[in-house]
Amino acid sequence: MSELVGNLLVAQSGGPTAVINASIAGVIQEAGRHECIEEIYGGLNGILGMLNEEIIDINEEKSRNIEGLKHTPAAALGTCRYKLDFKKKPERAAKDMDRLFEVFEAHNIRFFFYAGGNDSQDTAHKIHEQAVARGYEMRVIGVPKTIDNDLPHTDHCPGYGSVIKYNSATVMEVAADVLSMATDDGFCCLIEVMGRSAGWIAAGTALARRQPGDAPHLILLPEIPLDEEVFLAKVKEAVAQHKYCIVVVGEGVKNAAGEEIGADKSRVDAFGHPVLSGAAEYLSGLVQHRLNTKTRSIKLGYAQRAAAHYASLTDSQEAAATGEAAVRAAVSGQSGLMVKIVRTSTHPYKWTTGLQPLADIANVEHLLPRDWISEDGFMPNEKFIEYARPLIEGEVKVPTEGGLPKFVVLEKVRVEKKLPARA
């Protein structure tokens, strides 16, 4: 195999996480160690920006800022949800693919790294296949990222440890608050967390439980159909026993008919439009109304996936390592693969990186296994706890300025465009 020499392009895609920038830093820092990589470019806003030749010169960035990406949340290069949709829009997708390869050729991109979740790995896979089909020599490696932890084959996904660390700390704090106010009348607080189809994020808050009786008392997982009567009975029991009840609600929790809770079309606003208030708020109304128990709800939304100020050091280090491993794989001649995290031991926790064909990743969703959930369906069991516990270890040190986090914003010096504007 003759050594491939050329430029590197790295881009991000899908919903950001607290540590996806650490993966980008990993790619960049490792790339600097290999002579076959000439220029290091960043693609703005995923393939959407690449189609528009929106490319920045990473070597113009300060080294300090590259290192600072490891504590900076969101997607420093920008992201997108744009898909190459060969099924629904085959002509558009084919045109986009042609354009992408024009961009790759124009900038002599020979090493391409795409950090993202399921859809992004699918995009990387298609680009790899096209490179082979077109005889354009380019190494394509996917870098895993998703707070949802729903990618197959990897032990877990960078981004997941940080979101469950922050959410668990929040559960502990809110629980202390609610308990200190709980009188004999009882108090129920519902905390909605992300996860539309997979319950990994909701399940992760079980790490907040250190002693019997600790919050959360119930965790509602999208994988387990919710029976409202059973749920109400469980809340009543918890309030009777502990005077308070903390419920973590996975946003995608569904009823027996498979409909998302809180997406009830019969609720209308002043304009007559359906109110999609979210599961926690709907259930909060239900508890208040049926049990006459004081309730409050919290919806963490994007705050949870952006919470760099309490990110997991383990997660951040793993995210950086997947970026580094991606570059090493590409330089060694491999392509069409995603970096995965391989757990080699749980006690003590040890891990390494591995590689998995992108074809195995795309469009496969990894849900919480049923045998990691308690029989009644309201709590992950010890198997899950053993799995998740190491992922939240350590805290990322975030520098502050004036009492607030100091995040990195890249200079984003543009690489001169070489092509006519996109058609």
Among 139, 242, 305, 366, indicate the residue that binds a second copy (CB under 8 A).
305
Considering only residues 381-400, where is the footprint of a second copy by CB under 8 A? Answer: 389, 392-395, 400
**Interaction between residue 48 and a second copy (CB under 8 A):** yes
Among 178, 218, 337, 358, indicate the residue that binds a second copy (CB under 8 A).
178
Query: Catalytic: 148?
Result: yes
**Interaction between residue 360 and a second copy (CB under 8 A):** no
Considering only residues 114-153, where is the footprint of a second copy by CB under 8 A? Answer: none
Neighbours of 29 (CB within 10 A): 19
**Interaction between residue 421 and a second copy (CB under 8 A):** no
**Interaction between residue 357 and a second copy (CB under 8 A):** no
Q: Which window, 93-101, 128-136, 179-187, 350-358, contacts a second copy (CB under 8 A)?
A: 179-187
Q: Which window, 56-64, 85-93, 128-136, 169-177, contacts a second copy (CB under 8 A)?
A: 169-177
Residues 6+ apart with CB under 8 A from 193: 167, 201, 202, 205, 248, 249, 250, 251, 300, 304
**Interaction between residue 177 and a second copy (CB under 8 A):** yes
Closest CB to a second copy among residues 98, 173: 173
CA distances from 217 to 68, 220, 298 (A): 38, 10, 16
Candidates 122, 148, 150, 315; catalytic one: 148
Among 104, 160, 282, 387, indicate the residue that binds a second copy (CB under 8 A).
282
Considering only residues 317-356, where is the footprint of a second copy by CB under 8 A? Answer: none
**Interaction between residue 266 and a second copy (CB under 8 A):** yes
**Interaction between residue 299 and a second copy (CB under 8 A):** yes
Q: Which window, 9-17, 122-130, 132-140, 357-365, contacts a second copy (CB under 8 A)?
A: 9-17
**Interaction between residue 277 and a second copy (CB under 8 A):** yes
Considering only residues 236-265, where is the footprint of a second copy by CB under 8 A? Answer: 264
Residue pair 112/129 in contact by the 8 Å Cβ criterion: no
Q: Which window, 11-19, 60-68, 150-158, 253-261, contacts a second copy (CB under 8 A)?
A: 11-19
What CA–CA distance (Å, rounded) separates 300 from 303?
6
Helix axes 90-106, 118-134, angle to 10 degrees: 70
Among 25, 37, 127, 189, indicate the residue that binds a second copy (CB under 8 A).
189
The residue among 389, 189, 218, 217 whose CA lies nearest residue 300 is: 189
**Interaction between residue 233 and a second copy (CB under 8 A):** no
Closest CB to a second copy among residues 67, 264: 264
- What one-character-per-residue DSSP string does 282-343 give? HHHHHHHHHH--EEEEEE-THHHHS-GGG-BHHHHHHHHHHHHHHHHHHHTT--SEEEEEEE
* Smallest gap from residue 234 Cβ to a second copy (A): 21
Q: Are strands 218-220 and 244-250 parallel, antiparallel or unpaired?
A: parallel
CA distances from 25 to 6, 55, 116, 181, 362 (A): 19, 17, 15, 45, 24
Among 75, 109, 327, 362, indicate the residue that binds a second copy (CB under 8 A).
75
Q: Are strands 400-401 and 404-405 parallel, antiparallel or unpaired?
A: antiparallel
The residue among 251, 245, 249, 250 whose CA lies nearest residue 294 is: 245
Cα dihedral 326, 332, 336, 340 in deg (nearest 10)? -40
What CA–CA distance (Å, rounded) separates 73 from 70?
8
Identify the DSSP state of 55: E
Q: Number of residues in contact with a second copy, rule: CB under 8 A?
A: 77
DSSP E strands in 17-131: the ranges are 37-43, 55-57, 109-116
Closest CB to a second copy among residues 2, 180: 180
Give catalytic residue positions: 148
